[in-house]
Amino acid sequence: MNLTIKAQALIVLLAPLGASLIIGLCHKRLSKKSAHRFALFSMTLSLITSLYLLKMFYCDESSVSIPLYTWAESKGFNLSVGLFIDRLSVMMIAMVTLISWLVHLYSIAYMAEDTGYQRFFCYIAFFTFSMLALVMSNNFLQLFFGWEMVGLASYLLIGFWFHKETAVFAGLKAFIINRIGDCGFLIGIAGIWYCCGSLDYAIVFQKVQAGFLQLQYPWMPTFICLGLLMGAMAKSAQIPLHVWLPDSMEGPTPISALIHAATMVTAGVFMIARLSVLFECSSLALNTLLVIGSLTCVLMGLVALVQNDIKRIIAYSTLSQLGYMMMAMGASAYTAGMFHLFTHACFKALLFLAAGSIIMRAHHEQDIWKIAPIHFSMPITYSTMLIASLALIGIPFFSGFYSKDLILEGLRLSEQALAPMAYSSALLGVLITTLYTFRLFFVVFHRKEPLGLQNAQIDESSWVITLPLIVLAFFSLTLGMLGFSSFKNSINHTVDALSMGLHGFFQTPFIFNIVGIFICYLCYLRNPALSALIRRRCAWVHSVLSKKYGFDAFYSSLFEQLKQLGALCWNGLEQHWIDGIGINGSAAGIQRLSLMIRRLQTGYIYHYVFIMIVAFILLVGFCLFLSPFNLQG
Amino acid sequence: MIELYEYLSVNALLFSMGVAGIFINRKNILSLFMCVELLLLCASSNFIAFSYYLSDVQGQIFVLFILTVAAAETAIGLSILVLLFRKKQAINVDALNDLKG
């Protein structure tokens, strides 16, 4: 039993790595077709095996920790590699492999014309492996390694079109900001090591649950949690470390769907859910989560209202939804947060892939006002995008409704000090979500086209594009109802999905949805002049939102200052003091000394003989007359 | 009967001449060798004088060793000298300062 689990888990984990290595090492010899065949084959293998694992563990509370390999061992010091399989991780595994598989399929068409086709599949398979390694790890070190590997894959894929300068800088930005988070993350891990003397989940959780940690180091849990939280903030793009995510849209659209919407950015949320035992010890950390989550949720949703790039709107929406998940974590509604993670992964990946389908048809135009309105010429893209939008805003019976409602309920019932604030901002977030989602939807699909834009003949994309859309749309529709029964137990009530959905029609969020859709209809379809009027009336709000609250400008000036400080340290401290006097100075001093001493070596024999004899005489004289060991006895 | 101190004073004189020869001689490396030999010889005669005076044969045996070593050393020294001359066309002491720092 255990052996088969181990074998299955290894297949899930290593199949993408194998594909990545094969494609990466032989990419010059592989044709495009064989490259995607390798990748798709290994992903299919991984997906099927992970579904087996899901079936095995879905209704099971047990967990299996499989040690694989001891990396380093010393006295009281053990670093190992292993897998941790339980309900949480198998669900993440299934989600990651499913979306990764769909994105692989989608990329075949999306990247078909690209010269870096093989490289793309190599990276994306590597990403899948890294994400699985992160999710399946059974200790903090491996978690950190996975964390770094997904960061690397993200960097490589954001900068995939490296001839574009903006893409290179976006990749760098993502990488550097994630380093800031990693700093905190490492400190948190070091704190765990210090307190528990182990990095193994099982041991750490056991010690925390036994109350050992809190008793011995009262302030340590808070310290550790805030450190880990910093890592999660960078990875899951929460204020104030969120600035990299909108820029990461420079990468290819399938990447935005897979990495920057569905999987990698949720790693922070996953990590907090995984370490929920630890986070429960610190109400300060939980309240911080609530604050950060609610700020991100509301503020980033507002920014999405003024963006014009279709991918950036969805990216800001991702930020806002990640804010919801963080709030759920802060309210200790871990299952609700994870539920939202899964449903969000489906409908947000769907939104991105549908947007990619539109972008392809619009000849890589991403400005929603410049894309020729699409109407019903792309029925599958249209309907799947509609489903995704409805799921995103949380219309009853769609998947987003169930998860978001559980989060709202969790926030309402939470006993944390800041929970009421978070609850109200989450409610406000529903309205904002509706506004930006339907602004995007109406403008792209229903805008009354200006003359001259309608000539392009637009037709539906090929099946490799539409199949992932349909699969994801299916999950966006049904995942809420399917998953509701297993996720609701967090909050003790016995409602079933149907009555829950019906009840949803009489709740505040639904009213907000209707109001939001109506406003969008008024402003963007009925009377387009209205939106321009509002923009003119609230010019300063618009300018603040367009500048994204000035985070980027602030960071630029901060880094400029730091650069000057660095230059000062380099020139003044390092070059002059450390190098000039400390290192080169001592070397020069020794050289000068040796220049003096070398004069003694004249090379003339009679000088040496003279010194020898004189020294001998002096030595003998010393021994005879002055020495305490008098030789005369 | 010649007293011990007479031997010793002659030897001290010889030794001083050897040392002075080494110090003063700046020209010829051959005479430097001779001075070294002189030093060894006066040490040897010291040994003999003491050995005779103390009626101990060990000193004379020691002298045999010293002479052997001195002969070998001279042979080596002279061959080095020949090589040096071939290389530098000179056996001037002043020319031989390649070890100068």
- Neighboring chain B residues of A613 at a CB cutoff of 8 Å: 19
Reduced 3-state DSSP string for chain B = CCCHHHHHHHHHHHHHHHHHHHHHCCCEHHHHHHHHHHHHHHHHHHHHHHHHHHCCCHHHHHHHHHHHHHHHHHHHHHHHHHHHHHHHCCCECCCCCCCCC
Q: Which range has highest mean pLDDT (A24-33, A349-358, A602-611, A623-632)?
A: A349-358
* Contact yes or no for A610 and B97 at CB 8 A: no
* Contact yes or no for B98 and A613 at CB 8 A: no
- Neighboring chain A residues of B100 at a CB cutoff of 8 Å: 601-603
Task: Please tell me whether the peptide bond between A221 and the residue prior to it is cis, using omega within 30 degrees of 0.
Answer: no
Note whether A384 and A472 are within 8 A (CB): yes
Query: How far is the C-alpha of A102 from the C-alpha of A100, rounded, in Å?
Result: 5
Which of B93, B98, B99 has the CB atom closest to A606's CB atom?
B93
In chain B, which residues have pLDDT < 70?
A: 101
Which element (helix H / strand E) includes A210? none
Q: What is the pLDDT of residues A508-528, one digit of tens each?
A: 889 999 999 998 888 888 887
Contacts 24+ apart (CB under 8 A), B1-5: B4/B49, B4/B50, B4/B53
By C-alpha distance, the chain A residue nearest B97 is A603
Per-position DSSP letters for A509-572, written without gaps between them: HHHHHHHHHHHHIIIIII-HHHHHHHHHHTHHHHHHHHTGGGHHHHHHHHHHHHHHHHHHIIII
Query: How far is the C-alpha of B57 from the C-alpha of A256, rounded, in Å?
Result: 104
- Quote the pLDDT of residue A300: 92
Using an 8 Å CB-CB cutoff, list residues of chain A that contact chain B. 597-606, 609-610, 613
- Can you tell me the ipTM of this complex? 0.76
Which of A599, A601, A613 has the CB atom closest to B99's CB atom?
A601
Shortest alpha-carbon distance between residue A581 and chain B (Å) = 27
B31 touches chain A (CB under 8 A): no
B71 touches chain A (CB under 8 A): no
% of residues, chain A, pLDDT over 90: 42
- Neighboring chain B residues of A603 at a CB cutoff of 8 Å: 96-101
Note whether A154 and A250 are within 8 A (CB): no
* Contact yes or no for B101 and A600 at CB 8 A: yes
Cα-only R_g, chain B:
17
* Contact yes or no for A604 and B93 at CB 8 A: yes
B81 touches chain A (CB under 8 A): no
Direct distance between the N- and C-terminal alpha carbons of chain B, in angstroms, rounded to an integer: 54
Which residue would you say has higher pLDDT here, A383 or A495?
A: A383
Q: What is the pTM of this model?
A: 0.78
Give how far Cα A1 sits from Cα of A14, A50, A56, A69, A427, Å.
20, 16, 11, 20, 47
B22 touches chain A (CB under 8 A): yes
pLDDT band at A455 (very low <50, low <70, confident <90, very high): very low
* Interface contacts (A, B; CB < 8 Å): 35
Q: Residue A335, Cβ neighbours under 10 Å: how many?
A: 22
B96 touches chain A (CB under 8 A): yes
